Amino acid sequence: MKNILKITLLTISILTLSQCKDDDDKPEKPNYGAEYFKCKVNGLEFQTPSDFSCDGKYFNYYPEAYGGNEAGYMVMSGTNCPTYTYVTIRIYGLLPTTGHLDFLTPAFADSISPFYNYTAADSTSTIYEQLIDGEMNIEQFIPRADGSSPYGTIKGTFHFTVTDTNALDTFRITDGSFRFDVPQIF
């Protein structure tokens, strides 16, 4: 009788455990709130720490014209708050779609204008915005359905090379990746 009870309990346990899926603890929805902007500048990791007076990551997208911004304007940026050095990508006329964007000849945007703002120890800053080359792959662009629904998501990778107006210094922004919540409805 004890053997039958043991076998029955063992069988029930095995059947119960076999019904668990590997992804049971992974939500179907995007991971809202896990925003990041990462890259390397000339091979060195670019840090985007935030503090009480500075947010290390910034994103905004305007599907319609608003506040002096044209429809389809998107800006994303990472800031090293202690040095106030930042990497920014501005995209004009962006269609909310996924795919590959060549910065020199974008397929689903009017133009792309990335830049690197370097702030020296003496607090002088230099903006490097003469684009040499660059690419972005938008892997995910989910809009927010309505005002009561969860935020949408934009996620992807990028790299670009910029120089100053005299072409004296060149900065290579590589291994870039980003993920932001999209609060706008479109």
Averaged over 16-24, what is the pLDDT? Answer: 53
The mean-pLDDT minimum among 68-72, 151-155, 156-160, 163-167 falls in: 163-167
pLDDT in tens, 162-176: 998 887 899 999 999
Tokens of 117: 């703002």
Q: Indicate the pTM of the whole model.
A: 0.79
What pLDDT, on a 0 to 100 scale, did the predictor assign at position 41? 97
Give pLDDT tens digits for 89-130: 999 999 989 999 999 999 899 999 999 999 988 989 999 999
Query: pLDDT confidence of 50, banded at 50, 70, 90?
Result: confident
Q: What is the pLDDT of residue 183?
A: 86
Q: Are 3 and 151 in contact (CB under 8 A)?
A: no
Asked if 90 and 44 touch (Cβ cutoff 8 Å), the reply is no
Q: 6: left (phi > 0), else alpha (psi -120 to 50), else beta?
A: alpha
Q: Output DSSP code: residue 154.
A: E
User: Do the beta carbons of residue 185 and residue 62 sit within 8 Å?
Assistant: no
Q: What is the pLDDT of residue 26?
A: 44
CA distance 117 to 25: 41
Distances in Å between the alpha carbon of 88 and those of 56, 140, 144, 183? 11, 19, 23, 19
Are 186 and 96 in contact by the 8 Å Cβ rule? The answer is yes
- State the average pLDDT for the chain: 86
- DSSP SS3 for 60: strand
Let me know: does 160 contact 134? Beta carbons within 8 Å: yes
- pLDDT at 11 > cutoff 80: no
Contacts of 97 by beta carbon, 8 Å cutoff, 6+ apart: 108, 138, 141
The larger pLDDT score, comparing residue 66 to residue 102, is at 102
Pick from 69, 170, 156: which is nearest to 110 by CA?
69
pLDDT at 24: 46
Q: Are 128 and 164 in contact (CB under 8 A)?
A: yes
